Chains A and B, each alone.
Chain A
Amino acid sequence: MKRFNSNQAFSGWMFLAPFLVSLGVFFLWAILRTAWFSFTDYNLFAEPNFVGLENFTSLVLDELFIFALRNSISFALIVTGAQTILALLLAILVNSAARAKGVARTIFYFPSIMSSAAMTLIFLWLFQRQGLMSGMVGNFVNLRWVILSFFVIAIVIQLALVAMARRKYIGVKLFDPYFLLISVLVALISAVIIRMGGFVPVYDEKLLISWLNTREVFLFMPRTLWSVALMNIFTTVPTLMLLFLAGLQSVPISLYDAAKMDGANVFHRFFNVTLPSLTPVTFAVVTLGLIGTLQMFDQVAILGAAAPLESRVTLAFYTYYNTFPPGGSPNIGLASASALTLGVLTVLIVFLQRRFGIKEKLE
């Protein structure tokens, strides 16, 4: 019996060995080396000399590090929040699609299969000062009165149609799809007539918006990173949508049936059945989101000279920037201190989220 147990233990260790070795070499050893270098003046060539807390003091005194810290934290909070909400909404939309569910999932998942580098280059093009995004915003601003007319007409017609229908029939919904289609079509034709007839002012201002190449700060994050956030959300939401979709499909139908019988409307069912049931998935999505966004590097690295350094620097990029400063000697000590700070910050934020935010299990 004892021999059997020892054989079993040996087999177990053998199965674990590849993972333990890679974990030991690429994580434990690497983190210990990084920790040691963070207390030295190592520059890749000379023997490292112990310098105490000098690198950490330099970090705090370096304005670029402060920018990086601010950018990383704000980017992580904004992107994680936005992508979680959007992924959930998208999952609900796809899950409730009556037809062509597979096609809908494929289309929505498509942005996630693009490589980050390719997607960044596409967005660089979209975000040019005279690019597509500026053009769209410019059109919106120049045609604001026409667009407003469209919405006003659509709303008025929809309300009128619903009101008329409710006189004859019971249970006509405010957003009845057939009435909505008619309202939108009529509003669209009216807006075209309004535009052609010159009934409302149409402007011809050429808007030049610096989406990336700017030092402007909006709220507490550089405008550059807001643009990067948009790109990041676009590419990560589909993957997170799949997680929520899996979660949604495991929620028992009986719960919804019971809620319906208790008179719960669609919002009650969402907040009292769907959201609580998805707690473990939401925890995973938020945790993965925080870790991923805090370590964001590739997109700002590809931006390169297209944006000022202080507007795009994140903690991961700051580490890289000090490892290979353009034209300068590697500053591995400072880079290691920065990498260590990022690691500790990531653990801390994930811990705080778990402690005060969304829990792993439904309580």
Chain B
Amino acid sequence: MLKSLGKSLLAVSALAVFSAVSAQAQTVKVSGFGGSDPVVVNGLLNDVLADEIAALGIEVEYAPTEGDYSQFILNALSAGTAPDVFYTDIFWSLSIFANGQAEPVKNMALSDALIPSLVDAFTYEGQLYSVPKDFNTLAVHYNKDIFDDAGVEYPNNDDTWTSFQDKLTSVQSSIDDVYGVCVVPDYARFAAFALGSGWEPFNADGKTVLDDDFRRAFTYYTGLVSGGAGVLAADIGEGWTGGCFGSEQAAVAIEGAWVIGFLKDAAPSMEYGTALIPMDPETGDRGNLIFTVGWTVNAASEVKSEAAELIELLTSEKAQQWVLEQGLALPSRSAMVDNAYLMGETAEQKANLAVFQGASDGNVLPFFFGELGGAWMEPINSALNSVLLGEADIDAALAEAQSRFDELQAD
């Protein structure tokens, strides 16, 4: 009797242990940027999507990384210690995709639901490798009080380069110690003008030619400082246009929606508005860049299907609606283009709308330069810097930049 009871107990125990093991949730390791990003991801994982994640039967282990994320992920992928799900920035995406480190996105319904230009940005050799989680473009953010004090009309969506410069010059000449705009020698901002001129970074042969259109944009951009419409950001101790704007040293900033979060901290009481990038008076077009980051499944992951399911959740309409309403990022799903939130009247909502519209108005390209990566921008940045510092004239600076491109892109 005792013997059979013991056997039964043993069997029940074994069954319990087996059940526990089989019911144990699969762990999906996720990594992302540091800074303020963990607030968003933690909000999604622990609040917004907690039930859905539990229903999938997975456990998420989230570890954000401070510092240079691209270096972290390249090292981790190379060493075989990378998480199952990680961020891929369009800027350095090629080094991940071309080296077979990303699992292709197999869910066609998901890729069809995304904004096509973002899908194109993360497509390598005809295959989508990352699911864009959000995006950003550049817009003109202006300080209403400064324009009111100067008695100058606010920048608006009908502005051309000329009218925009006139407004900035008027502001700068009207108020002491306030500049129109902070100018930075950085293609990531200058492109808003260069692309508007009709210039294409790579011609049909894949070469960069600094043609007359480029020169026109270059002359305009560098002339903002010499023409009394702006100041070199470094000259007033700032590294970006948003810094000058936040400290109310500049009337406008040319930045993406990321400036909204910055202003909440740096200038919470600032009354600001947002307009689209001004148009080139010759072409009537605007230029812009798309900055986007996607979720990627590690090709070496042992839980690929669970990781892909988690990414679908993280980029679901529910998740993106929450992120949008927090004013943190713009959605990557086409269905959310006409979202009621974007039609709102607050400064944040208007800024988000302008940034959203920037993706489809004029000549817009992803912030991506193929195999050359950031090295492609160096000749342009260097030329901008030399001219803005007065160390070279436009002819000499552009000639040197062209020669450096010729060298970089030599066959």
Residues of A within 8 A of B (CB): 43-46, 63, 125, 128-131, 208, 210, 213-216, 305-306, 308-310, 324-330
Q: Complex Cα distance A330/B74, Å? A: 8
Known: A213-B389, A329-B95. A130 touches B371 (CB 8 A): no
CB B75 to nearest CB in A, in angstroms, measures 8
Q: Complex Cα distance A104/B386, Å? A: 44
In the assembled complex, which residues on chain B have CB atoms less than 8 Å from the CB atom of A310? 382
Q: Are A327 and B92 in contact (CB under 8 A)?
A: yes
Q: Pick the 3 closest A-B CB pairs, nearest first.
A: A327-B373, A328-B373, A326-B374
Q: Are A129 and B234 in contact (CB under 8 A)?
A: yes
In the assembled complex, which residues on chain A have CB atoms less than 8 Å from the CB atom of B391? 210, 214-216
In the assembled complex, which residues on chain B have CB atoms less than 8 Å from the CB atom of A326? 70, 91-92, 373-375
Interface: B186 (CB within 8 A): yes
Interface: B22 (CB within 8 A): no
Q: Complex Cα distance A46/B101, Å? A: 11
Interface: B98 (CB within 8 A): yes
Q: Are A305 and B186 in contact (CB under 8 A)?
A: yes
Contact of A131 among B77, B95, B237 (CB under 8 A): B237
In the assembled complex, which residues on chain B have CB atoms less than 8 Å from the CB atom of A325? 373-375
Contact of A324 among B68, B236, B237 (CB under 8 A): B68
In the assembled complex, which residues on chain B have CB atoms less than 8 Å from the CB atom of A309? 378, 382
Q: Are B92 and A129 in contact (CB under 8 A)?
A: no
Interface: B268 (CB within 8 A): no
Q: Complex Cα distance A326/B98, Å? A: 16
In the assembled complex, which residues on chain A have CB atoms less than 8 Å from the CB atom of B91? 326-327
Within 8 A of A (CB), among B152-204: 186
CB B44 to nearest CB in A, in angstroms, measures 27
Interface: B341 (CB within 8 A): no
Within 8 A of A (CB), among B57-101: 68, 70-71, 74-75, 77-78, 91-92, 94-95, 98-101
Interface: B357 (CB within 8 A): no
Within 8 A of A (CB), among B340-374: 368-369, 371-374
Most central of B68, B234, B237, B391 by chain A CB within 10 Å: B234
Q: Complex Cα distance A45/B82, Å? A: 13
Q: Are B234 and A43 in contact (CB under 8 A)?
A: no
Most central of A130, A309, A324, A328 by chain B CB within 10 Å: A328
Q: Are A328 and B372 in contact (CB under 8 A)?
A: yes
Known: A63-B407, A215-B391, A305-B239. A328 touches B95 (CB 8 A): yes
In the assembled complex, which residues on chain A have CB atoms less than 8 Å from the CB atom of B71? 324
Interface: B235 (CB within 8 A): yes
Q: Are A45 and B100 in contact (CB under 8 A)?
A: yes
Contact of B99 among A215, A327, A329 (CB under 8 A): A329
Interface: B321 (CB within 8 A): no
Q: Complex Cα distance A266/B7, Å? A: 100
Q: Complex Cα distance A324/B72, Å? A: 10
Q: Complex Cα distance A310/B381, Å? A: 12
In the assembled complex, which residues on chain A have CB atoms less than 8 Å from the CB atom of B95? 328-330
In the assembled complex, which residues on chain B have CB atoms less than 8 Å from the CB atom of A63? 407
Q: Complex Cα distance A345/B137, Å? A: 46
Q: Complex Cα distance A332/B371, Å? A: 15
A–B pairs, 10, beta carbons within 8 Å = A214-B389, A306-B239, A308-B382, A308-B385, A324-B68, A326-B70, A327-B373, A327-B374, A330-B74, A330-B95
Q: Complex Cα distance A215/B385, Å? A: 9
Can you name the residue of chain B whose Cβ is closest to the Cβ of A62?
Answer: B407
In the assembled complex, which residues on chain B have CB atoms less than 8 Å from the CB atom of A45? 77-78, 99-101
In the assembled complex, which residues on chain A have CB atoms less than 8 Å from the CB atom of B235? 128-130, 208
CB A137 to nearest CB in B, in angstroms, measures 16
Can you name the residue of chain B whose Cβ is closest to the Cβ of A326?
Answer: B374
Known: A46-B99, A324-B71, A329-B99. A306 touches B234 (CB 8 A): yes
CB B371 to nearest CB in A, in angstroms, measures 7
Q: Are B385 and A328 in contact (CB under 8 A)?
A: no
Contact of A130 among B77, B237, B373, B374 (CB under 8 A): B237
Q: Complex Cα distance A309/B92, Å? A: 19
Contact of B98 among A125, A128, A210, A329 (CB under 8 A): A329
In the assembled complex, which residues on chain B have CB atoms less than 8 Å from the CB atom of A324? 68, 70-71, 74
Question: What would 10 more interface pairs be, CB under 8 Å, given A128-B234, A128-B237, A214-B389?
Answer: A125-B237, A208-B235, A213-B385, A213-B389, A215-B385, A325-B373, A326-B375, A328-B371, A328-B372, A328-B375
Q: Complex Cα distance A215/B396, Å? A: 14
Q: Complex Cα distance A335/B386, Å? A: 28
CB A317 to nearest CB in B, in angstroms, measures 14
Can you name the residue of chain A whose Cβ is closest to the Cβ of B75?
Answer: A44
Within 8 A of A (CB), among B370-408: 371-376, 378, 381-382, 385-386, 389, 391, 407
Q: Complex Cα distance A305/B234, Å? A: 11
Can you name the residue of chain A whose Cβ is closest to the Cβ of B101?
Answer: A45
Q: Complex Cα distance A216/B101, Å? A: 42
In the assembled complex, which residues on chain B have CB atoms less than 8 Å from the CB atom of A128? 234-235, 237
Give per-residue flags for B128-155: 1 if the beta carbon is below 8 A from chain A beta carbons, else 0: 0000000000000000000000000000
CB B94 to nearest CB in A, in angstroms, measures 7
CB A319 to nearest CB in B, in angstroms, measures 14
Can you name the residue of chain A whose Cβ is closest to the Cβ of B407?
Answer: A63
Q: Are B371 and A329 in contact (CB under 8 A)?
A: yes
Q: Complex Cα distance A129/B237, Å? A: 8
